[in-house]
Amino acid sequence: MGKLYIVATPIGNLEDITLRAINVLKNVDLIAAEDTRHTLKLLNHFEISKPLISNHRHNEDEKTNILIEKLKEGLDIALVSDAGTPGICDPGEAIIKKCIEEQIEVIPIPGACAMINALIASGIDTKEFVFLGFLPLNKKTRKEKLEEIKASKKTIILYEAPHKLLSTLKDLKEILENRQVVLARELTKIHEEFIRGNIEEIIKVSENLKGEMVLIIEKNNKIEEKNNFENLTLEEHYKLYENQGLQKKEIIKKIAKDRGLNKNEIYQKFV
């Protein structure tokens, strides 16, 4: 049995390929590429000469079967996409799932991935995040995703094409109002740029922006506050405001608002 290596390639700067990735590409029997012409340029740059086979979105099922046969014959195969990590908004899932089914070893070769690099330099919370890829174009599913973003207590990461950026930002503005966003553009390239601000500010400067981009969206802090309050007992919640010097009437009004309860209900507990 051969092995399938999932090899990450640069997302702009060619120096972002690892020594291990180069060695794997040099040593496998075959390279399955999203676009063979694109990958050929990368291989030429590193003076690697290997047979290439195309594996793109539109022929993935058919190519998966061919690749599995070759792996079963004992060939080692490297899977690459046009840029970054295969399987992340790029072909890869189908062959990887099939390999696992067929008990063929799958070996990740780490490297560049746009979403991770946008996130780590964004300055927005990295503890917990959700990657949603490209927002769907279908009206209904798009609305559902936007609602998911609105409610998310985790940082959201989106990919977007430059010609759709403005309409996506306007949709976000409509549903999220003015949350903090970071637009990471042309990562690892000469014109790499991070534009930070609220959605309205980003809209103002994004009219003619070109290049590849990632959007990092701050989590919904309001929900977190509410949830934190819900973690308190009523007495603790009361004490919190009392310590801030508030009067009983005002405290009860605030607790009712924080917990989404009726004022009278809370009043009963503190008579």
Contact residues toward ligand SAM (CB under 6 A) are 11-12, 81, 83-85, 88-90, 113-115, 159-161, 184, 186-189, 212-214
CB 117 within 8 A of CB 188: yes
Burial, 252: exposed, middle or buried (Cβ in 10 Å; 0-12, 13-18, 19+)? buried
Q: Considering the complex, state which of residue 2 and residue 84 has its C-beta at the smaller distance from ligand SAM.
A: 84
d(CA 79, CA 43): 13
Q: Considering the complex, state which of residue 159 and residue 238 has its C-beta at the smaller distance from ligand SAM.
A: 159
Q: Which residues share a beta bridge with 195?
A: 183
Provide, rounded to whole angstroms, the least separation between the CB of residue 99 and ligand SAM. Answer: 19
Provide, rounded to whole angstroms, the least separation between the CB of residue 187 and ligand SAM. Answer: 3
CB 31 within 8 A of CB 44: no
Is beta strand 155-160 parallel, antiparallel or unpaired with respect to 129-134?
Answer: parallel
Query: Which residue is listed with tokens 């990461």?
Result: 157
Provide, rounded to whole angstroms, the least separation between the CB of residue 8 and ligand SAM. Answer: 7
DSSP helix/strand/coil, 71: helix
CB 78 within 8 A of CB 120: no
Q: Considering the complex, state which of residue 95 and residue 114 has its C-beta at the smaller distance from ligand SAM.
A: 114
Q: Considering the complex, state which of residue 85 and residue 251 has its C-beta at the smaller distance from ligand SAM.
A: 85
Provide, rounded to whole angstroms, the least separation between the CB of residue 109 and ligand SAM. Answer: 13
Provide, rounded to whole angstroms, the least separation between the CB of residue 53 and ligand SAM. Answer: 19
Q: What is the DSSP code (8-state) at residue 40?
A: H
Structure tokens at 117: 């690099």
CB 65 within 8 A of CB 43: no
Q: Considering the complex, state which of residue 81 and residue 206 has its C-beta at the smaller distance from ligand SAM.
A: 81
Q: Considering the complex, state which of residue 11 and residue 71 has its C-beta at the smaller distance from ligand SAM.
A: 11
Provide, rounded to whole angstroms, the least separation between the CB of residue 76 and ligand SAM. Answer: 22
Closest listed residue to residue 202, CA positions, set 165, 175, 147, 174: 165
